[in-house]
A = this chain, B = another copy of it.
Amino acid sequence: MTTLPGPVLDALRAAVGAEHVRTAAGDLAAYARDATPLFHRRPDAVVFPGSAAEVAAVLRIATEHRVPVVPRGAGSNLAAATVPTQGGIVLVMTRMNRILEISPDELLARVEPGVTNAALADAAAAQGLLFAPDPGSRTVATVGGNVATCAGGLRGLKYGVTRNYVLGLEAVLPTGEIIRTGGRLWKDVAGYDLTRLLTGSEGTLAVITEVTVALLPAPAESRTGVAYFPSLADAGRAVARVLRGGLVPATLEFLDRRCIAAVEEYAGLGLRLDAGALLLFGDDGPPETVADSLARIGEACAAEGALEVTCAREVAESEALLAARRCALPALSRLGSLTILEDATVPRPRIAEMVDRIDRIAEKHGVTIATFGHAGDGNLHPTCVVPSAEDTEAVRAAERAFADVFAAALDLGGTITGEHGVGAAKLAYLPARLGEDQMALLRRIKAAFDPAGILNPGKLGS
């Protein structure tokens, strides 16, 4: 099934061990896709390196023979960034999954890239520490993938995104050199900020082989509340009132009317179906602060016309409320055989306007789009449900609708992707966001790292 020449395969086997080079049809099929619908292409080989030195050996072989290499963690990417769209080698980093060190004195952890976000978060929690990035895929997504995509999550407003927590990286250049960027320090300005340049570079500049991340003391308590509003515009005003009041809470998530209905149908949580929007809010910290915080958010919601406000009194109740948000995607997925999840992002005050536009765009193209997302940072997840993936016309209509959605986000001062990335799925929309001059600069930066263009070709920087 593979089209790689025998000598290349032999060299790969010598580099990582024969048992870590897979070319059987079943293996190739398994790594033809990530979590993005509609994108798939079989690789020619799947390679599982065990060390930075092995990664370097693989990359030198690939550069010499001009073979594409697509680095991959759990494959939970939603922009087809880990689909081998030009074939070649999928380089799966999951064997390198050790937590090398957790230092409570230095408030940091050093890990191999294949450790999952949840495993690191659990290990940190066992020492009273918090690993803040929490993408929706956290139970399966790897830390290497978090870094490669600059993953966001549900607490971005208060805690920021992955980039705010990456202190240092070990990475292998496509030409085989192993570099170490940053380190264990909060302050370090020796050289260009390659740590942050690699963060979010989607496996197109280098392969990450070790990550040092900052941890925080775990907050003593987390609590959640929920408010229902007649419309998203009301919920948006409540969010603005909270922030103007000097509070930056950990969680401010919303579901639109369609999402509320889908979640209730799916999970039977007892949500109100007469509301136009649900706002899930939460904060963490010392108990007094959290209590004060939730009370103030509740008051802001009431002042902006909330139909109902409920604050969880205990942890189990908070978890139940969060479940409404966490199951938005599975709930919507049940409505059709194809679910396209997007993440257009707009300035926070324009969320309601953007959701209005999305609704009109959906109507225009005759598709169903439900929207949920992060009200605190304007990061929306409009989700299109297509009844059948085989219905080519319906799929095309969804694609046309999303082209309009991205244009609307840009028109409102936003962006085409807040946290999922560009990958293969959104590369065509990138020039509208960055302009041709910046696109050309991206290509020159890519060439500075990867002169042969072997690393994740056809993605960011192409």
Contacts and interface: CB of A to CB of B under 8 A. Distances in A.
A181 interface: yes
A441 B193 contact: no
A163 B216 contact: no
A348 B104 CA distance: 11
Interface in A193-217: 193-194, 196-197, 199-201, 205, 216-217
Could you say how many copies of this chain the assembly holds? Answer: 2
Interface in A367-412: 374, 377-379
B179 A347 contact: no
Given A160-B164, A194-B438, A188 B107 contact: no
Interface string A335-349: 000000000011111
Contacts of A247: 217
Interface stretch (A4-12, A223-231, A427-435): A427-435
Contacts of A452: none
Interface string A162-187: 01100000000100011111011111
Interface in A223-249: 240, 243-244, 246-248
Q: Chain A contact residues: over half helix, strand or loop, or mixed? A: loop
A433 B345 contact: no
A378 B185 contact: yes
Contacts of A414: 183, 185
Contacts of A421: 189
Q: Number of contact residues on A: which range applies?
A: 35 or more
A292 B192 CA distance: 40
Contact of A435 (B179, B189, B434, B448): B179
A186 B377 contact: yes
A453 interface: no
B187 A413 contact: no
A59 interface: no
Interface string A53-73: 000000000000000000000
Task: Point out which of A149, A163, A438 has the most chain B C-beta atoms below 10 A from its C-beta.
Answer: A438
